[in-house]
């Protein structure tokens, strides 16, 4: 298992990005340290949200700060989020820290309700619109193994096929050199994290 300090943002098409994350059943000092490190990584990569499986942890947890800068905005942690009351429709450009440099328009509900738990165990219930609603939906998709590119229209998706192919080639090279473990190694890592927290 990776230590919190060794966490890094993984990129498409790493298999953990397609794994449906398991609900978090326990919180300890290590998980809190993981969350702290996730915020560090999110700010370092200039993001506003980051899901646990983007740092190779198949757990239902994501973080968000719409300002995207340390010391600004509000740092939110969502454990086991559930979305409901989707209303309206809105199209906007999205990107992803796991597919850096790739952007595309995605249609999502304009308003959504999120219910979750904070890292301290306190319940969260928020009615969100605008960027906050979009970010929460994007990150919850990650926990279900869904990427924003999956939600793009067919023609828009074809426009980024070449860029995605470059990520696929880079991934295969990393597998070939052992920088990314085999399917068996990855499955063992997933199981270890799930046994510990899910």
The residues annotated with a catalytic role in the active site are 139
The Cα 59–Cα 147 span in angstroms is: 16
The answer for 165, left when phi > 0, alpha when psi is -120 to 50, beta otherwise, is alpha
Place of tokens 């978090």: 24
Question: Do residues 135 and 95 lie in contact, with contact meaning Cβ atoms separated by under 8 Å?
Answer: no
Radius of gyration of the chain measured on its C-alpha atoms? 16
The rounded distance, in Å, linking the Cα atoms of 119 and 11 is: 25
What angle (nearest 5°) sits at the alpha carbon of residue 157, between those of residues 179 and 128? 90
């Amino acid at each position: 298992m990776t230590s919190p300090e060794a966490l890094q943002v993984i990129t498409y098409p790493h298999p953990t990005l397609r794994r449906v994350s398991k609900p978090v059943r326990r919180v300890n000092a290590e998980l809190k340290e993981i969350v702290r490190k996730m915020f560090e990584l999110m700010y370092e990569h200039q993001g506003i949200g980051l899901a646990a499986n983007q740092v190779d942890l198949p757990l239902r947890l994501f973080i968000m700060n719409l300002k995207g800068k340390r010391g600004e905005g509000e740092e939110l942690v969502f454990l086991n989020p559930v979305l409901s009351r989707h209303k309206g429709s809105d199209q906007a450009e999205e990107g992803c820290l796991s597919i850096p440099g790739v952007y595309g328009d995605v249609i999502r509900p304009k308003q959504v309700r999120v219910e979750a738990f904070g890292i301290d165990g306190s319940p969260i219930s928020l009615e969100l619109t605008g960027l906050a609603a979009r970010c929460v939906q994007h990150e919850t998709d990650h926990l279900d193994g869904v990427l924003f590119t999956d939600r793009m229209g067919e023609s828009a998706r074809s426009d980024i096929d070449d860029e995605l192919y470059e990520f696929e080639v880079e991934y295969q090279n990393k597998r070939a050199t052992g920088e990314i473990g085999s399917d068996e190694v990855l499955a063992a890592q997933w199981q270890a994290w799930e046994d510990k927290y899910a």
